[in-house]
A and B are shown apart, each in its own frame.
Chain A
């Protein structure tokens, strides 16, 4: 059974810092990977999708990479802002079986302080 670990579980940084969130899968046979943001009491917002043929994806201050050989992904947030405070979840689609269902990590809770 695929398990996804996100490190750290929680992180507090001052505004302006660059930071890295980590995600690792027990089964590295991942088809693609999505990073989501979840605000308290709200739904999940898709941030980035790394397709099977890609190694990384960028959107604004966010950059996500995927190393399929090791089953690890990182989300880099540049010049963090208080509005970035949220829980960040990574989720992977398996290479085999039901290739569409996502397996999620438990998330990294980020707080960016003034």
Chain B
């Protein structure tokens, strides 16, 4: 079946603009995760949903970052008033009963 999909794949935005990144998990996966990956580093946890409930948002850097998953499927990560330091690869993952996490292709965000 289809894997995790993310859109857009690339996003270039100007400093101060808001951006919304979308994640469509594997069908039937109840858990969804957002990570951020800097060049040459491993992904860092941002937030986690179980169904529509946001269980942990301890990795969100500040209050400009928010995420939602209103119907327990698709999730949106929103960054308000973007700054250059927000430039990174944003990755989404989902998992089912085994807990094995499957990652999407990521969204490369560049803030100019």
The interface of chain A, by Cβ under 8 A from chain B, is 4, 32, 34, 36, 42-46, 49, 51, 89, 91, 93, 98, 100-107
Q: Give the interface size class of chain B.
A: 20 to 34
- Which residue from chain B places its CB closest to the CB of A97 in the assembled complex? B56
Q: How far is the CA of A53 from the CA of B41 in the complex (A)?
A: 29
**Other A-B pairs beyond A46-B102, A98-B56, A102-B45, 20, CB < 8 Å:** A36-B103, A42-B105, A43-B91, A43-B104, A43-B106, A44-B93, A44-B103, A45-B103, A51-B98, A91-B42, A91-B43, A100-B33, A100-B50, A100-B55, A100-B56, A102-B101, A104-B41, A104-B44, A106-B41, A106-B42
Least distance between B103 CB and chain A CB atoms (Å): 4
Contacts of B103 in A (CB 8 A): 36, 43-46
B48 touches A101 (CB 8 A): yes
Least distance between B23 CB and chain A CB atoms (Å): 12
Given A32-B99, A43-B103, A43-B106, A101:B42 Cβ within 8 A: no
B75: Cβ under 8 A from any A Cβ: no
B33 touches A101 (CB 8 A): yes
- Which residue from chain A places its CB closest to the CB of B46 in the assembled complex? A101
B76: Cβ under 8 A from any A Cβ: no
28 A–B contacts from the bound complex (CB under 8 Å): A32-B99, A36-B103, A42-B105, A43-B91, A43-B103, A43-B104, A45-B103, A46-B101, A46-B102, A49-B98, A49-B99, A91-B42, A91-B43, A98-B58, A100-B31, A100-B33, A100-B48, A100-B55, A100-B56, A101-B33, A101-B48, A101-B56, A102-B35, A103-B45, A104-B41, A104-B42, A105-B42, A106-B42
The interface of chain B, by Cβ under 8 A from chain A, is 31, 33, 35, 40-45, 48, 50, 55-56, 58-59, 91, 93, 95, 98-106
Q: How far is the CA of A43 from the CA of B23 in the complex (A)?
A: 14
Given A32-B99, A100-B95, A89:B105 Cβ within 8 A: no
